[in-house]
């Protein structure tokens, strides 16, 4: 849900294409971060 609200804020400022790109990159970074944490444990 945090990605949706963050994406909407970005969309108002920068436009929809930028919002979609930044939101998807945030999700990818979050996914990579979770995977690296799982590998450490």
Q: Is the dihedral of CA 10, 17, 22, 36 positive or negative?
A: positive
Residues 1-41: pLDDT tens digits? 676 777 677 667 777 788 788 888 889 999 999 999 888 87
* Structure token pair of residue 29: 């970074």
pTM for the structure as a whole: 0.48
pLDDT at position 30, please? 92
């Amino acid at each position: 849900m945090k990605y949706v609200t963050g994406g909407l804020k970005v969309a108002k400022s920068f436009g929809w294409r930028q919002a979609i790109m930044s939101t998807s990159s945030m999700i990818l970074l979050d996914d990579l971060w979770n995977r690296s944490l799982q590998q450490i444990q």
